[in-house]
Structure 1
Amino acid sequence: MSLLQKLDSKKKQPQGKKKDRRNLWFEKGMAIVASANLFLVVFDLSYIPLRDFWLQRKIQVFSFKIGPIVSKGFPVPIPIPNITPFYDPIKGIEPYRDTDQYLEKVVQLQNHLIEPGLRSKEVAGILEDLRRRSGEMINTNPFLVANKTGTMEKIKNKMRQHVTTSEDSAKESFMQFWSGGNLSKNPVEELNFFNKEIRPLIETNYFRPIGENGEFVDLFGLIDFPFFILFGIEFLGRTWSLGRRHTGVSWLDAMLWRWYDLFLLIPICRWLRIIPVIIRLDQSKLIDLSAIQKQIRQGFVAEIAGDMTQVIVIRVINEAQDSIRRGEIANWLSQRDARPYIDLNNTDEVATLTKIGVQLTVYKVLPEIRGDVEALLKHHLEKILKQSQVYQGLEQVPGVGELRNQLTENLVKQITQTIYDGVNMAIEEDTVGEELFQRLIKHLMEAYGSQLQAKQTLEDVQSLITDFLEEVKVNYVERLSEEDLEEILDQTRAIGQIKST
């Protein structure tokens, strides 16, 4: 490599790193934007069910009912701004005219109690109007449009508990509550009850008009449209880039490459955007999901590994049994000469592998273990001699023991040397010997094939192999599903830890 090429390669490396860094920052930015869009989607989907909370901005703690024990608890205010005036128009929410006028009448009543007083004609007219409106509210249930019939029931129950009547009727309780006789006892306390217990429930009611599409008016699409434009441009840009960088990738293939981004462009089922958001956060390295992915894969393997293994192995065994029953062994034996064998490299791989194994044993392995072989032969030779009566008699002659050791060692060395030399001579290059060896193998296979073609022998072999495969299925394959796969996964994880360390 020339000096100019080295300098050029050094210049390319930092540029590649800078490009990867820019791409990572871009991925992080788009992941944050997608997360913000998902947050808006979740907020929009939860706004209607949680509108009472956003309106009142408080939660009721220690409120429960266990048998006869009832605890109303107490409200805890949450220091957050009131967003309902800004977001109600997005969802098409408007004040419900009847309940809104009902609360305005209560405000007028409070003002007239101060001046001119409870006995004035204005107060009497307001109370009459409130009694009429209370009856209409119970009869028509204006909370039905907002799907808050349960709130209407809470209002009636609270009023019945506060004002007891002979008929135990919510309508009669409202009539008595908005009477001059009831308010004259303690008007401040009665109005405080209404403002604390009843007004917050009535304030939660709203009206939501129906659009031309038959659905409730919802303008969230106006908020989501800028994100749609941004994600659409990004999707087209990524598709063009993938098609340009990878050969043979069509426009459709490039779109399906990042299929999960399509959820960002679909205006229905917006909650599915959690899929591309999680993937983008992981790809941009803002979060690490490798541990979760690993657990998901292992759980998936644990669920299907046993069934898949059992089905596959049984299928293979069944195919083998069917092949044997169809007589394919006999067909193979009868057509072995007629069927040509395709040799790809003009080499007999079986003979070559056998030759390599023998050469490795003779030239490399036997010299290493020759001392051990001689010691083993010497031990057995001495053991045989000790059992001989002639040798036991010669043991009494002085000097024979030393002679015996020398003779034994020489005999063992001669035996091992003779065997070693014989094996060396057998594997030396010998064209005639190789031809004789090949002819021996050929005649051996022919002899086995001709004998196996005998009808009785072939039937016995087929029957035995089929029965053996059936026993394998019963005794081993069906036990695979009973195997403790969690233990296998633990062993797999332990092996992975050993490899990593």
Structure 2
Amino acid sequence: MRRSLRPLRLWYERAIAFIILLNVGLVLFDATYVRSRNQHLWLNWKVFEWNDIPQEEYIALVDRLNEAIANEGLESLAVQSLLSQVQARSMDIFVENPPFRLLGRYSNLHQIQERIIESTGLTDLNAAISQYWSRDFIARRGWGSHWSEFNIEIRPFLLLYEPVLDYDIIKGIEPDRGAQDYVREVAQLKAILEFEGPDSALVEPQLERLKDLTDRMIDEEYAINSVNKSGKVNRMKTMMKNYIYSEDNQANREMIQSRLNLFRNPNLIQVIAPELLWADLSAKDAFYEFWSRDNFQEDNWRESIDFLRNDFYFLVGSMYYRHLDSTGEFANRFLLIDFPFLLIYWVDFIVKVLCRFYREKGIGLGLAIGTRSYDLLLLQPWIPGLRVIPLVIRFNQSDLIDLEPVQKYLGLNFIASFGQELAQVVVNRGIGQLQSRISDGLIQKAFTKTPRDANPEAEVTIENGEQKQRSFGSITGRVWEVTACNVLPEISPDLEAFLRYEVDKTLQKSGWYQRLQKIPGVRRFPDQIAEKLVKQIIQTLTLNPRKSYLKGQTEAPDMLEEQLKERLGENFRQKLQAELQKNYTFEEMDLLLIELLEGAKIGDRNDSVPQPQLNPVESNR
């Protein structure tokens, strides 16, 4: 029976149950976050590209300024108004309300601030921004030079995605600095090609910087807390070799096919094990060829940039660095999120225990705590995954789920399983004891001891001896009844055929039988005698015992016949005992019986006793 709760208490229990559910969901998210971070990051990157951001409005404002200067000149009032707007907007997004995802000295914002300070020569950021967009400063430098610097040094970082998630701080994760430098240099190369053209003198130095960063990324021995970076670098190397060497695909395919007879299709290898295609080719050479001037000419630089954007940006950007805590383990600050839940659990537990302790007389504090023992799993922060157990119990108590059928089913299956195990133990133990008795000579004692020796208490307790003697006589009589009335008559045809065969075989070997076969008129005489003899023997063995038994049940017993049967049985028993004691007969019988019983034990073979299927509904009938 489920205990019904008062409405207010029921709603309270349900609220606590949903709080536990939320907490367990956060525990599961925390446990899988590092492994699934790439998926979260990719989704966040797509959202960043789809959404409108303040940096785009800022770039549009600067583009309007460029058009106004080109059309009206630097001295026009419209340009002065736009310069004032750009100054104010620059102060807003670079100083007061930066919309960038990452702050600090390794962020895109810091790179922009440093370039403005370096360009103006001022140390104060506010003053540097005001001067950078002042008419006098631009007139002194020339708008062309100023515009080119903005497009190459500032514009690329305004729209560059920073791979950081809000939950990274809990796991001590920050973007890998070397990887971010690599992405920024690629973004600057793209800006140079777009605004200055592939023939610009800035292209060659930029390509050299990218070659140096590539060497550093490939050759560097990464620290243990630069998580999963080496694996992603290997993927970068494979992708770059595939992009560069696929143009000379025929020669490389012939090389691969000569080494891998199992795979004759390079496309199949490309799917299953792409690293095998270019295993003998240098990744550095592939990167050097990619970052060459020939690969960024007027007719092909956009294709190369598209390859970087589609394949490289996210892979390099997803590399991250993870901090270590004071114990040398990876940082995990989940307790910052878990602490409010722990506080709720402790307050709820203490209130319920004290209420029961003071409300119910005769109950101790230990027993009051014991009744809420499942809540102890909520109070510990070390293994938060165990909170699933009290979550299920709380949902059941608050009538959100009904576990009664499950409990009944599990209980019945437990009983069935326990019964099976108990039967196995009892049967195996009984068989084991019987094996021990057989090893001690039980069979030999049964055949060699007299009834008095087998039961020495019969000398003391006459009544028990007489009762056992009567029981033994009853068993013997029943065996004799079955043998005489049922068994022997049923096997008489087989017994007659066997005796007939043996008699004929004996007659065939005798000389007088062969001589009689030659005398006419008496040739069939031996066969007739043998046939009558066999039938007489069969009748004596099969029919006479039945007649004798039935006669003994209805008429007075023949004393002489009883004496003869008793003497026959005694002599048979003595001779059987004597013969069985020869040639280790009992030892062989003991070994055979022990092996037979060993095979009969439950659980020692694959064909164990099947577990019964219990139905909780039927069990209540």
Report the TM range for the smaller structure's normalisation. Answer: 0.5 to 0.7
Matched-pair contact (CA < 8 Å) for 2:405–2:616 = no
Deviation at 1:484, TM superposition (A): 5.6
Alignment match of 2:372 (pick from 243, 253, 258): 258
What TM-score do you get using the length of structure 2 for normalisation?
A: 0.46
DSSP-derived class of the 2:202 partner: helix
Alignment match of 2:230 (pick from 134, 139, 149): 149
Partner of 1:241: 355
Matched-pair contact (CA < 8 Å) for 2:322–2:330 = yes
DSSP-derived class of the 1:163 partner: helix
Query: C-alpha deviations, 1:380-402, integer Å up to 9, x for none?
Result: xxxxxxxxxxxxxxxxxxxxxxx
Matched, 1:281 2:361: no
2:203 and 2:180 mapped to 1: Cα distance? 19
Matched-pair contact (CA < 8 Å) for 1:38–1:271 = yes
Matched, 1:139 2:236: no
Structure 1 pair 479/176, CA: closer, same or farther in 2 (3 Å)?
A: closer
Deviation at 1:226, TM superposition (A): 0.6
2:603 and 2:318 mapped to 1: Cα distance? 61
Matched-pair contact (CA < 8 Å) for 2:211–2:288 = yes
Matched, 1:161 2:242: yes
Aligned-pair identity (%): 30
Matched-pair contact (CA < 8 Å) for 2:428–2:602 = no
Partner of 1:123: 203
Summarize the alignment of residues 218-237 of structure 1 with structure 2, pairs less than 5 Å apart.
Answer: 218-237=332-351
Structure 1 pair 295/202, CA: closer, same or farther in 2 (3 Å)?
A: farther
1:454 and 1:132 mapped to 2: Cα distance? 108
Matched-pair contact (CA < 8 Å) for 2:175–2:318 = no
Partner of 1:45: 31
Summarize the alignment of residues 358-397 of structure 1 with structure 2, pairs less than 5 Å apart.
Answer: none
Partner of 1:54: 40
Partner of 2:405: 291
Structure 1 pair 84/95, CA: closer, same or farther in 2 (3 Å)?
A: closer
Deviation at 1:222, TM superposition (A): 0.8
Partner of 1:22: 8
1:291 and 1:126 mapped to 2: Cα distance? 71
Structure 1 pair 210/233, CA: closer, same or farther in 2 (3 Å)?
A: same
1:171 and 1:86 mapped to 2: Cα distance? 35
Alignment match of 1:33 (pick from 19, 41, 46): 19
Partner of 1:495: 618
Partner of 1:430: none
Partner of 2:311: 197
2:603 and 2:360 mapped to 1: Cα distance? 43
Alignment match of 2:283 (pick from 170, 173, 181): 170
Partner of 1:416: none
Query: C-alpha deviations, 1:440-472, integer Å up to 9, x for none?
Result: xxxxxxxxx9535779979x99xx9xxxxx9xx
Deviation at 1:93, TM superposition (A): 1.1
DSSP-derived class of the 1:229 partner: helix
Which stretch has the larger CA shift, 174-183 or 311-320?
A: 311-320
Matched-pair contact (CA < 8 Å) for 2:431–2:601 = no
1:480 and 1:205 mapped to 2: Cα distance? 55
RMSD: 4.4
Find the structure with the greater CA-based Rg.
2
Q: Which amino acid aligns with 2:181?
A: Q
Summarize the alignment of residues 199-214 of structure 1 with structure 2, pairs less than 5 Å apart.
Answer: 199-214=313-328
Q: Which amino acid aligns with 1:226?
A: P
Q: Which amino acid aligns with 1:124?
A: E
Deviation at 1:315, TM superposition (A): 6.3
1:280 and 1:495 mapped to 2: Cα distance? 29
Partner of 1:309: 423
Matched-pair contact (CA < 8 Å) for 1:264–1:273 = yes
1:296 and 1:151 mapped to 2: Cα distance? 48
1:480 and 1:107 mapped to 2: Cα distance? 71
Deviation at 1:192, TM superposition (A): 0.5
Matched-pair contact (CA < 8 Å) for 1:57–1:78 = no
Summarize the alignment of residues 311-350 of structure 1 with structure 2, pairs less than 5 Å apart.
Answer: 311-312=425-426
Deviation at 1:143, TM superposition (A): 8.7
Structure 1 pair 292/202, CA: closer, same or farther in 2 (3 Å)?
A: farther
Q: How many residues align?
A: 331
1:496 and 1:20 mapped to 2: Cα distance? 32
Structure 1 pair 293/78, CA: closer, same or farther in 2 (3 Å)?
A: farther
2:181 and 2:346 mapped to 1: Cα distance? 47
Matched-pair contact (CA < 8 Å) for 2:180–2:317 = yes
Structure 1 pair 494/188, CA: closer, same or farther in 2 (3 Å)?
A: same
Structure 1 pair 295/140, CA: closer, same or farther in 2 (3 Å)?
A: farther
1:292 and 1:78 mapped to 2: Cα distance? 49
Matched-pair contact (CA < 8 Å) for 1:260–1:276 = yes
Deviation at 1:224, TM superposition (A): 0.5
Matched-pair contact (CA < 8 Å) for 1:143–1:206 = no
Matched-pair contact (CA < 8 Å) for 1:159–1:170 = yes
1:148 and 1:452 mapped to 2: Cα distance? 93
Partner of 1:95: 175
Which stretch has the larger CA shift, 177-186 or 253-262?
A: 253-262
Query: C-alpha deviations, 1:111-161, integer Å up to 9, x for none?
Result: 111232223332211110101111111112659621343322221111110
Summarize the alignment of residues 403-442 of structure 1 with structure 2, pairs less than 5 Å apart.
Answer: none
1:287 and 1:143 mapped to 2: Cα distance? 49
Deviation at 1:496, TM superposition (A): 3.3
Deviation at 1:57, TM superposition (A): 1.4
Deviation at 1:32, TM superposition (A): 0.4
Matched-pair contact (CA < 8 Å) for 1:54–1:84 = no
DSSP-derived class of the 1:207 partner: strand
DSSP-derived class of the 1:57 partner: helix
Which stretch has the larger CA shift, 311-320 or 175-184?
A: 311-320
Query: C-alpha deviations, 1:188-216, integer Å up to 9, x for none?
Result: 11111111011111111111111212222
1:241 and 1:205 mapped to 2: Cα distance? 53
DSSP-derived class of the 1:239 partner: helix
Matched-pair contact (CA < 8 Å) for 1:92–1:208 = yes
Deviation at 1:187, TM superposition (A): 0.7
2:290 and 2:202 mapped to 1: Cα distance? 17
Segments of structure 2 that go 5 or more residues without pairing to the other structure are: 52-100, 102-162, 253-279, 437-459, 476-592
Deviation at 1:91, TM superposition (A): 1.5
1:54 and 1:88 mapped to 2: Cα distance? 11
Matched-pair contact (CA < 8 Å) for 2:238–2:283 = yes
Partner of 1:376: none
Deviation at 1:266, TM superposition (A): 1.5
Matched-pair contact (CA < 8 Å) for 2:602–2:608 = yes
Structure 1 pair 77/108, CA: closer, same or farther in 2 (3 Å)?
A: closer
DSSP-derived class of the 1:94 partner: strand
Structure 1 pair 186/318, CA: closer, same or farther in 2 (3 Å)?
A: closer
Deviation at 1:22, TM superposition (A): 2.1
Structure 1 pair 173/218, CA: closer, same or farther in 2 (3 Å)?
A: same
Summarize the alignment of residues 431-470 of structure 1 with structure 2, pairs less than 5 Å apart.
Answer: 450-452=461-463
1:88 and 1:313 mapped to 2: Cα distance? 61
Matched-pair contact (CA < 8 Å) for 1:58–1:76 = yes
Structure 1 pair 300/249, CA: closer, same or farther in 2 (3 Å)?
A: same
2:610 and 2:361 mapped to 1: Cα distance? 42
2:193 and 2:365 mapped to 1: Cα distance? 76
